[in-house]
A and B are shown apart, each in its own frame.
Chain A
Amino acid sequence: MTSSSPKLTLGPVLFNWKPEALRDFYFRMADEADVDTIHVGEVVCSKRTPFFDPFIPEVVERVAASGKQVVLSSLALIMTDRELAQARDLAASDILVEANDISVAALMGGRPFVAGPLLNIYNEGTLASLEAMGAARICLPAELSADAVATLAAGAKAEIEVQAFGRLPLAISARCYAARARNLSKDGCQYVCADDPDGMDVETLDEVPFLAVNGTQTMSYHHMDLLGSVAGLADSGISRFRLWPQTFDMVRVAELFRAVLAGRMAADEAEAALVPLCPGAEFANGYIHGKAGHLFIDTD
């Protein structure tokens, strides 16, 4: 499906931010960010959910009042009865839901939902199956190349979304590496993942930056930056791009993506403007070029 103007999605905050700070972040995004959709909800660790749950109604209200669409994202790894009960409550919500585990997609019972990037949708067969289950929008896995996403978009009835900015979620585990790095167990984790609001940097023994840890989730060290590719991807039928929240000024990050998509700013100019917005960050776009994810391929 092609659309005249591609949309921007602000993904759910994947990190363990303090509840008030998270609420204020969403308020600001609702009020100021030039994005079409904002995702809310805990994706990574069910132990975190009680802290932000009480704030969700006011965040949902604020986003809706801003005229933006709000989506509730599900957990990625659902193992316990408690997590499954949470998923059932989520699926029963009147608000649009993003399924990040297949059980949530099934629980939707055919009602429209967003298929999240942590489902494995690599080909047109699976894409069609998810559409038949009610997926109205599908955010594709990070590993896919521009050719693959264009092939999928060409045959899709659902809106197709591609991850375009931020540290990429690469893996999910039952084990918590934030706790393990401090010799703590997951049960007695003391919520230490909150110490690293953009993830805990992981380097090789040669001190080369490599990965980042967000509790049970392993992420890329590099920040995905598809500013150089979004216009071409939009031409090939990608109708949405996802920005993953970091502690950077996401209002200004979103502005850059909007400006490039609207043809108001050249990609290289936007990339130059992105660097000072993301102090210390290194960028990557390898996956979309069909290469190792950590690489940055210059598109000029």
Chain B
Amino acid sequence: MMRPELVCPAGTPAALKSAVDAGADCVYVGFRDETNARNFPGLNFSRKELGEAIAYAHAKGAKVLVAINTFPRAGQPELWHRAVDDAARLEADAVILADIGLIEYAARSHPGLRLHLSVQAAASNPDAIAFYAGRYGVKRVVLPRVLTVSEIAAINARIAPVETEVFVFGGLCVMAEGRCALSSYATGQSPNMNGVCSPAGEVRYTETHEGVTSELGGFTINKFSRTEPAGYPTLCKGRFIARDKASYLFEEPTSLNTLTILPDLIKAGVTAFKIEGRQRGRAYVAAVVQAFRQGVDAVMAGRPLPDIDLDRITEGGKQTTGAYEKAWR
């Protein structure tokens, strides 16, 4: 069995240090602009911070991957091209890209730069992966969170030596990533165009006598009683009415947690395990990285999985193994 790399999120230089110190093999980051899919206020790296972060990580034997995974605006590709150029100049270990035109630019301008395909490209089958690998030399593909473990194993058997990376923990898109415009339908801003989903500037909480109503772009996403904590109104985790029944139609407020199925994912031949959450703080990053470090090390050593409780840092205290198990569909 191949020992998978642990790929950890960092929204700030402090989080990057926490991730590296907690045992991350790789850390992924973004520049402080709309070139990455976590374009949130107060988050991400300046060029100078990225240079320092790469030096820190490399000194400790960890890699830094730079996510440039939104879709360049028509007529204005310069911001995205510069992000790729700067990641290459600062000696990032790889860039994580979603847009075909940007991948082509990177492959042409920086032939030595390692290319990873972002989950936002939603390459969900061997032919799609072969396209990116064959045409542009993409070395690793982050798989969309729509596949079962057995489908992932089948893909790995067909695409070697191209590597796969899968999400193992954190926020969970229920739609095929990069192929969802729900956020812009409600707010005008989307992951693909603006690097944000359900943007904070469009969120409103209103007190009522029953409790709290959360809104996004003027649409009610959920209502909470006085005893329930009012969660963030991520559009696809809201409560809606269909067929005269109110429910979490798309998905409950929940976090992906694959600790219990790590052995299956390792057997499926996955090269790297990715933890979501560049928007989360250092404590989250450290706790999750440590848990998965212990989990992966235990599986590789043939020991039983450690029983680690991550409830307190999951969304709504709920956890799911998501699409990895077929029943989720």
Known A125-B72, A129-B101, A204-B220; contact A79-B146, beta-carbon cutoff 8 A: yes
**B99 and A181 form a contact (CB under 8 A):** no
**B179 and A76 form a contact (CB under 8 A):** yes
Residue-by-residue, is B143-176 near A (CB-CB < 8 Å gives 1, otherwise 0)? 0001100010010000000000000000000111
Within 8 A of A (CB), among B168-220: 174-176, 178-182, 184-188, 190, 192-193, 213, 217, 219-220
**B327 and A185 form a contact (CB under 8 A):** yes
Within 8 A of A (CB), among B284-326: 323, 326
B150 CB to closest chain A CB, in angstroms?
A: 10
Residue-by-residue, is A114-150 near B (CB-CB < 8 Å gives 1, otherwise 0)? 0000101011111111100000000001111001110
A84 in complex: contacting residue of B125, B182, B219, B241, CB < 8 Å: B125
Please, how many angstroms separate the alpha-carbon atoms of A213 and B130 in the complex? 32
Q: Which chain A residues border B99 with CB–CB below 8 Å? A: 120, 122-123, 125-126
Please, how many angstroms separate the alpha-carbon atoms of A127 and B74 in the complex? 10
**A181 and B176 form a contact (CB under 8 A):** no
Within 8 A of B (CB), among A132-181: 141-144, 147-149, 151-152, 168, 170-177, 180-181
A6 in contact (CB, < 8 A):
no
**A120 and B73 form a contact (CB under 8 A):** no
Please, how many angstroms separate the alpha-carbon atoms of A149 and B74 in the complex? 8
**B240 and A211 form a contact (CB under 8 A):** yes
B273 in contact (CB, < 8 A):
no
B223 in complex: contacting residue of A125, A151, A205, CB < 8 Å: A205
Please, how many angstroms separate the alpha-carbon atoms of A76 and B185 in the complex? 20
Q: Which chain B residues border A274 with CB–CB below 8 Å? A: none
Please, how many angstroms separate the alpha-carbon atoms of A124 and B186 in the complex? 26
Q: Which chain B residues border A120 with CB–CB below 8 Å? A: 71, 98-100, 121, 178-179, 192
Known A76-B179, A107-B127, A202-B240; contact A122-B329, beta-carbon cutoff 8 A: no
Q: Which chain B residues border A213 with CB–CB below 8 Å? A: 242, 249
A228 in contact (CB, < 8 A):
no
Q: Which chain B residues border A67 with CB–CB below 8 Å? A: none
Q: A83-B125, A144-B74, A292-B217 are in contact. List 8 more A-B contacts (CB 8 A).
A: A78-B125, A81-B154, A102-B131, A123-B73, A171-B179, A175-B323, A181-B245, A202-B241
Binding site for B on A (CB under 8 A): 76-81, 83-84, 87, 101-103, 105-107, 118, 120, 122-130, 141-144, 147-149, 151-152, 168, 170-177, 180-182, 185-187, 200-208, 210-211, 213, 218, 220, 286-287, 290-294
Give 15 pairs: A residue, B residue, CB < 8 Å, sorted on A. A76-B179, A77-B179, A87-B127, A101-B125, A122-B72, A124-B75, A126-B71, A144-B74, A151-B75, A171-B175, A175-B250, A181-B243, A202-B240, A203-B240, A293-B184
